């Protein structure tokens, strides 16, 4: 069975195609059109710009994916209905419905966050019960995974900025451009991660063990820079970048390891564009090794938003025997993965 996945929740128009062999998905095509360069002019994702870019890109991207996979039409279509930007989601969902109707194939509505986890199976095989840490410009989540087609437990999320968003805001503050993650990561390479003791949000004994907060950290960076400037001292961009990055990586990986221990699983999966960060990866690996936990990280292209993740989750949902969604299914911008807050 061939499944096409359509993703339009943020600034990537993704169309992926996988073959489902009854047990696992096999990648056939992965086409992504991004409006990131256009968004860079505004220093962040502008919802209206994203929606218009999706509208222009969706049909050509579907065509390219079908050509790359060498198929005329898929046997089923999976589409992200949430969480994401309302206007952006509408474009992908409308396209998915139109093609499902025209091709007379079933439609499956899936959750974007589940897709970020499912995509790892393409490279690393079946997913055992695991904890997933998703970090990108739009989300920061710790999820408990029993099985890919089963409901996901939301263990914690950010109470303010997403991790990638914190990178973007700190980079803007330092005048380094957008997106901030890659520039800060590069700058941090020449810096001392212990030069400045930036705060680790929500790590006190009475704080929610699996929630995150990065807005205080961003403010601390701003205050530090202002203080240096006021005192006539030079600001070391590498030291600020390395110390900031260390604070983010420390909190993310410490909470993820605690979640792994609490759920008594031995697998940690990373996903989302900010997992490209070298320190988040190396510290996660270090701490996973120390605890005897297997760390699974999809390759960078599959960590950022794409259609393959949607196709892969769709294939697992179909394989699990779920009924198709009605063609009247609505977008759900605030969609949660939550069945129980642990």
**Which residues here bind Fe ion, judged by CB under 5 A?**
136, 305
Q: Note whether 11 binds Mg ion by CB under 5 A.
A: yes
Q: Which of residues 214-243 bind ligand ATP (CB under 6 A)?
A: none
Task: CB nearer to Fe ion: give 11 or 250.
Answer: 11
Cα distances (Å, whole numbers) of residue 263 to 130, 198, 259: 8, 30, 6
Cα three-residue angle 238-193-215, rounded to 5 degrees: 85
Q: Which residues are annotated as a binding site?
A: 112, 116, 134-138, 168, 181, 185, 277, 305
Task: CB nearer to Fe ion: give 116 or 287.
Answer: 116
Cα three-residue angle 99-104-105, rounded to 5 degrees: 80
Q: How far apart are CA 211 and CA 262, in angstroms?
A: 15
Phi, psi angle pair for 81, to nearest 5° = -105, -10
Task: CB nearer to Mg ion: give 116 or 255.
Answer: 116
Q: Which residues are annotated as a binding site for substrate?
A: 134-138, 168, 181, 185, 277
Which does residue 181 touch among Mg ion, Fe ion, ligand ATP, none (CB within 5 to 8 A, set by kind)?
ligand ATP
Enter the DSSP assignment of 85: -
Task: CB nearer to ligand ATP: give 10 or 65.
Answer: 10
Q: Note whether 191 binds ligand ATP by CB under 6 A.
A: no
Task: CB nearer to ligand ATP: give 9 or 61.
Answer: 9
Q: Which of residues 8-47 bind ligand ATP (CB under 6 A)?
A: 9-11
Helix (H, G, I), strand (E, B) or coil at 209: coil
> Using omega within 30 degrees of 0 as the cis cutoff, is the peptide bond preceding 210 cis?
no
Least separation, in Å, of the C-beta of 335 and ligand ATP?
12
Total binding residues toward ligand ATP, as defined by CB under 6 A: 23
Least separation, in Å, of the C-beta of 301 and Mg ion?
12
Element (H, E) at 149: none
Cα distances (Å, whole numbers) of residue 297 to 138, 216, 284: 19, 28, 10
Least separation, in Å, of the C-beta of 163 and Mg ion?
13
Q: Note whether 274 binds ligand ATP by CB under 6 A.
A: yes
Q: Could you identify the residue written with the tokens 């820079």?
A: 225
Q: Note whether 168 binds Mg ion by CB under 5 A.
A: no
Take residue 107 and report the two structure tokens written for it.
Answer: 């439609």
């Amino acid at each position: 069975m061939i499944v096409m996945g359509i993703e339009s929740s943020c600034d990537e128009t993704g169309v992926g195609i996988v073959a489902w062999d009854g047990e696992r998905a096999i990648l056939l095509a992965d086409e992504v059109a991004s409006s990131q360069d256009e968004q860079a002019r505004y220093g962040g994702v502008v919802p209206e710009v994203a929606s218009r870019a999706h509208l222009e890109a969706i049909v050509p991207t579907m065509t390219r994916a079908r050509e790359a996979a060498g198929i005329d039409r898929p046997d089923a279509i999976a589409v992200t209905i949430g969480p994401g930007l309302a206007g952006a989601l509408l474009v992908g969902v409308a396209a998915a419905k139109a093609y499902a109707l025209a091709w007379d194939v079933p439609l499956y509505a899936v959750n974007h966050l589940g897709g970020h986890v499912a995509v790892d199976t393409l490279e690393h095989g079946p997913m055992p019960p695991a904890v997933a840490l998703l970090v990108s410009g739009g989300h920061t989540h710790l999820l408990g995974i029993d099985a890919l087609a089963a409901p996901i437990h939301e263990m914690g999320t950010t109470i303010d900025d997403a991790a990638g968003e914190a990178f973007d805001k700190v980079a803007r503050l330092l005048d380094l451009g957008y997106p901030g993650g890659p520039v800060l990561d590069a700058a941090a390479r020449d810096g001392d991660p212990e030069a400045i003791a930036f705060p680790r949000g929500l790590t006190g004994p009475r704080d929610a063990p699996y929630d995150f907060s990065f807005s205080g950290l961003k403010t601390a960076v701003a205050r530090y820079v202002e203080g240096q400037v006021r005192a006539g001292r030079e600001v070391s961009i590498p030291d600020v970048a390395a110390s900031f990055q260390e604070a983010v990586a420390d909190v993310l990986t410490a909470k993820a390891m605690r979640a792994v221990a609490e759920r008594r699983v031995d697998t940690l999966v990373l996903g989302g564009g900010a997992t490209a960060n070298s320190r988040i990866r190396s510290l996660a690996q270090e701490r996973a090794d120390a605890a005897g936990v297997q760390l699974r990280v999809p390759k960078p292209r599959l960590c950022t938003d794409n259609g393959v993740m949607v196709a892969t989750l769709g294939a697992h949902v179909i394989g699990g025997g779920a009924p198709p969604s009605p063609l009247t299914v609505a977008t759900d911008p605030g969609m949660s993965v939550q069945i129980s807050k642990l």
